[in-house]
Amino acid sequence: MLERTTQIKNRFLQFKDWEDRYKELIVLGRALADYPEDKRDEKYKVKGCQSQVWLYPEFKNGKVYFHGDSDAVLVKGIVGLLVSVYSDATPDEILATKPDFLKEVGITEHLSMNRSNGLQAMMKQIQMYAAVYKSLQKVQ
């Protein structure tokens, strides 16, 4: 996971101003795989986001895979960023990887209060899914 966060930092820190980083977020959002239409319901909707955000997890072979989408371009980019870091990781890796890299690349400081709250809600959802899958592993 350290390698992924380092890649994200390198990707965004190459840009000096926020506008270029904003454009890079949009690129990440556009790169998201198509979100499954049958998962576009309240069960997978992230509560606390101003925009509509869906985050659907799959658990296969000890790893969590996230699928995400949003109806807002910037937010979809943030979803893409989070999916690129936290998907295809074990629950322990997800829980151990704090979102400090978001501050380091200047994303959190340029978000409105509502967008910041939404980002926190997305992170909380990702960590909650990881915690649930971790506890289910112990049961099996």
- Catalytic status, residue 49: yes
Please state, in angstroms and rounded to a whole number, the distance separating the CA atoms of residues 134 and 115.
29
Contact 22, 106 (CB under 8 A): no
Rg (CA), the chain: 15
**DSSP string spanning 2-41?**
HHHHHHHHHHHHT--SHHHHHHHHHHHHHTSPPPPGGG-S
Residue (of 39, 89, 31) closest to 59 by Cα position: 89
Please state, in angstroms and rounded to a whole number, the distance separating the CA atoms of residues 2 and 10.
12
Which of 8, 25, 46, 49 does the annotation list as catalytic? 49
Catalytic residues: 49
